[in-house]
Every structure is written in structure tokens, then in C-alpha cells.
Amino acid sequence: MIRSAARALLALFYAVAGVFHLLRPAPFLAITPHWVPWPAAVILLTGIAELAGAAALVQPWSKPLRRVGGIGLALYAVCVFPANINHMFIDMARAHPQLGWGYHIPRMFAQPVLVWAALWLGEVIEWPRRVLRATR
């Protein structure tokens, strides 16, 4: 029950982010590292990836498809991490940062949690549940 609710919440998070990537790409383009080729196309594709991953993660009829969605969203979170780092450097280099360390430091720590959550909610991994069972 908790996993289902969390799965729906994570899928909603990625679906909203995907819509924003498609409808308002400018903020994402602004934080895309300069070495990313064809940034506008990459932002478009990341929005599509978020929507597809969210749909796969939340659909009820296929566990293998949920697993693919979880793996896809985990890989996505790893791939966009350079943009998050770039965003932090851009913001903190300003004379008056818009978001500051209070946003960026938790955001850096949240990225591995998003990877874990996608894998756990996609039923790719069972940690920490299986580990806790083994110790009882």
C-alpha cells in the first residue's frame, strides 16, 4: 500500500516535470551544461522520457513494464545530475544567488534518493525491506 502510494507520487512528480520540460523548456535550457549537444532536442527528449517513465511506473497491469519504468527513471536521474550540478554553480556564482545553498545542497543529496526510489518503486530492488527481514 505504501509502495503504491509512493509510486503514484513519484510518477506524478515526473509527469509534471515532463510537462514543464515540453511546455516551458527555457529554464532547463539555461542550466544545461555547454557540452550537451543539441540542448533543445535533449530537453524535449528528457520531457518525453519523464512522461514515459511515469506512465510505465504507475500502470497496474505489467510488473515488467513497471520495472522498465523504474530503471528508465533511475537512469534519467543519473543522466540529468550534471545539469543539477551546473545549475548550482550558475546560481552560486551570482552576486545574489536566487536559490542559495539551502536549496542546492539538499538537491544534491536528493538525486541518489530519486535513483533509489525509482528502482524500489519499480520493484527492481527490495532494499531496505529485504535486508530488514533478513535481520529479524
Let me know: does 71 contact 120? Beta carbons within 8 Å: no
pLDDT per residue, tens digit, the chain (136 aa), is 788 899 999 999 999 999 999 999 999 999 999 999 999 999 999 999 999 999 999 998 998 999 999 999 999 999 999 999 999 999 999 999 999 999 999 999 999 999 999 999 999 988 776 654 555 5
Q: What is the pTM of this model?
A: 0.86
Task: Kindly state the cell numbers that stand for 76.
Answer: 534519467
Q: How far apart are CA 34 and CA 38, in angstroms?
A: 10
Cα angle 104, 5, 113; round to 5: 30
**Residues 10, 58 contacting (CB under 8 angstroms):** no
